[in-house]
A and B are shown apart, each in its own frame.
Chain A
Amino acid sequence: MSRVIFLDGSSLPDRDIIGGKAWSVARMRSLGLRVPPAFVIPVDECRRYHDAGRKFDDELWNDVLSGVRAIEEATGRRLGDAASPLLVSVRSGAAVSMPGMMDTVLNLGITDEVESGLAQQTGDTKYARETHARFCHQFGDIVLKADLDPYVAGPTADEVRALVLDDVGESIPDDPYAQLRAAISAVFDSWESARARSYRKHWGISEIGGTAVTVQAMVFGNLGEGSGTGVLFTRNPLNGDPTPYGEWLPGGQGDDVVGGTHAVLQLNALLEKMPAVHTELLSWANTLEQENREVQDVEFTVEQGRLYLLQTRTAKRSPDAAVRIAVDLVNEGLITEDMAVQRVTAEQVDTVLLPHISAETAASAKVLVSGEPACPGVACGIGVVDPDETERRAQAGEDIVLVRPTTSPNDVHGMIASVAVVTDLGGSTSHAAVVTRALGRPSVVGVGDGAAMSMAGKLLTVDGGAGKVYEGRLPLIATEVDEHPTLRTLSAWASERCAITVVHEFAGSVVDLDADRSAVDAETGKIDVEKLTALLTGAEAAKGGVLNSPEGAQAIMASGITTIVAPRRLPIQLRLIQQ
């Protein structure tokens, strides 16, 4: 019996045995979906490798070679064959993902001869050259541990090889089988890397386990007409609309879509060119959504008219979409009401309920400056340049917008005190952006040199999501749960499931935690659950912003209090249900 497992979908081994990646491949195959052929070296081989002093025996190597042959038969390509080359990816796959484990090596199997073969078949010399150079960089970096700067297109494979040789004194093998053997060993070795070990120690994860190694054929989206690559969301991830949404890049390969290096088309372009593939894609994506009972983000490649699924994941979505999708999935019978109230988080509901500027208001308002949106949200206040003045006036009860040329650690106290932040310089990844997002302060950055000073002393409305600063105080629209088509439904489900009464007003005595801040550390803002529980215990009812937090929910449950007074019911109910 072979010690490697060919992932043809005929069986679905346990995730602990083959790792998450291989499991996902096997599952898609078992659902009858086409995935690039792959085999996995299971977790127990990692232990055996280390027990033998970081060596794998001939028997295992022979089984790996049989695995490669099975992939060759399935694809009609051969490892190292310039006329019809097989390239593979090698990935680690522990049952639990952890830091320090080896990253993926892609395009393994490329050599000088294969490079010229690929150039001929794709008609794209540049692609072949870059694939080779990128492989050498990745192999040098990940397998041979050379200290290389991040990859930038340009150098040839030979130039990268020379850098690697210079740094580690080892060459990148030109034999595909030697490449494969070294990459597999590197995956096993990474289980014992310092970072992985310290992580396991931190979390008490057994040292006895190991990582699996998945070897999978690469498919090509750049083999002329009828090839390409793309992503498909089974529902719109921005508004939750139940129609598939996606991007398609004809002739694109690998990271081209994600990397944003090529202009991408909407999915309709695939429908026009290859209707059969389009139909198959939608049907497969639907199968995955039905199976996973959750909206999916599917990566796919079409190689000469044949559709392959590369990966499927739960799709990331906006808070609006999260609410809509949870309610829709219940209505479609895919999930239960219980699951829906577990899936939507209090933070998502809070975000949907944030006050916003209506389109009509925005259209007629005067835009003072615009820049990059750094942290969403809307706030009004007086523009102040000096952070000390911001802190002083905010403590006196004024709403202040901190307007700065740039921000340094010296401004952080002013940012904490402000209701919003605007900076002249910097992009969406500046220090100012990072700090305001951590604080949840609406912010706009990079509005232009000298703009901050021009806004000092003015009344401003900052829209951090749109990246605009308006003159004056604009009227804001607050969304109400009971007026919102899907929140209303979700709220009804939550009310039925929450044992604690959450009301807007209460006639009896109410402990006011906005007034008594003794459970909150003044410097760090951390909430002490035990102190908070003590404050709540025996009380008839309580109110305060601190209750709409994970610690608040813990304290409510621990204290036995039965009534909470809050301006908004749903976020607190969800927190309590999700305890």
Chain B
Amino acid sequence: MSDLDFLALHGLAVRKHGGPATVASLLGADEAAVGVALEGAVANGYAAGAKGIFMVAPAGQAYLAEQYPVVFADARGDEAFVNSYERFEKVNVDLLTLMTDWQTMPAGGGRVSNDHSDVDYDQGIIDRLGSLHERAERVIGKAADAQPRVGRYLVRLEEAYDKVLAGDRDYVSGVRVDSYHTVWFELHEDLLRMLGRTRQE
């Protein structure tokens, strides 16, 4: 398997399912080449696909699990990269708190769902997202110095943040779009897979 064949399968595994365009966007790779790689994975029995939407087959999951320690051996042995991952986990805690503050708001002693009728409240959170994004730029930037592919997530986070600034609220934590949380969640998954770590929550 070529590097791209492997990465296309890995990218598909991070997203769970998707077409060449979404996987190519995740990897920052050429869409046509990713399409060819995914068709190849189907031929190998590593992926299944219908109507241009692919998903990783059980054999593909097993193959990935076996290959990760080999393919990402450099990353796992790179102290700078592992350190930036540890920093990422710290920012992750703040990101999740911010997302919770976006979705819910304090009312008396409890919290209620945020109906987004309070413009100032929402603006305050978007402002915090801006500060957090600046921290993310530093942390993910350092990770990308060691593993350049990770830098692709920064581009996607920036795109989500821009959409939020332009007034599209769904791009904060929406599930069905490449929202800030969706991209972040994928980055988290990607890092865990690269480093062979287990998820703590």
- Residues of chain A whose beta carbon lies under 8 Å from any beta carbon of chain B: 97-101, 147, 150, 195, 198-199, 202-203, 233, 236-238, 245, 314-319, 321, 345, 347-348, 351, 376, 406, 408-413, 415-416, 423, 425-435, 437-439, 445, 523-525
Contacts and interface: CB of A to CB of B under 8 A. Distances in A.
A429 B16 contact: no
Interface string B188-201: 11001000000111
A409 B123 contact: no
Interface string B64-103: 0000000000000000000000000000011011011001
Contacts of B104: 437
B173 A316 contact: no
A408 B112 contact: no
Contacts of A195: 130
A376 B113 contact: yes
Interface string B8-36: 00000111110000000000000000000
B168 to A, nearest CB: 10
A460 B170 CA distance: 31
B100 A428 contact: yes
A431 B130 contact: no
Sorted nearest first, the 9 A-B pairs with minimum C-beta distance are A426-B201, A237-B108, A430-B201, A429-B96, A316-B107, A437-B103, A99-B127, A237-B107, A410-B16
A312 B96 CA distance: 28
Contacts, number: 130
B165 A198 contact: yes
Interface string B99-130: 11001111111101101011011011011001
B90 to A, nearest CB: 9
Interface in B111-169: 112-113, 115, 117-118, 120-121, 123-124, 126-127, 130, 138, 165-167
B108 A433 contact: no
Contacts of A315: 107
Contacts of A98: 123, 127
A225 to B, nearest CB: 27
Nearest to A425: B201
Contact of B130 (A100, A410, A429, A433): A100
A434 B14 contact: no
Given A238-B108, A318-B107, A412-B16, A429 B115 contact: no
Given A409-B16, A413-B16, A437-B103, A199 B118 contact: no
A214 B165 CA distance: 26
Given A413-B16, A425-B201, A438-B103, A238 B113 contact: no
Given A98-B123, A202-B166, A439-B175, A430 B107 contact: no
Interface string B172-191: 01111101011001101100
A390 B93 CA distance: 29
Given A409-B16, A434-B173, A438-B175, A429 B100 contact: yes
B14 A409 contact: yes
B127 to A, nearest CB: 4
A65 B179 CA distance: 48
A315, A316, A376, A430: which has the most chain B beta carbons within 10 Å?
A316
A202 B113 CA distance: 28
A435 to B, nearest CB: 6
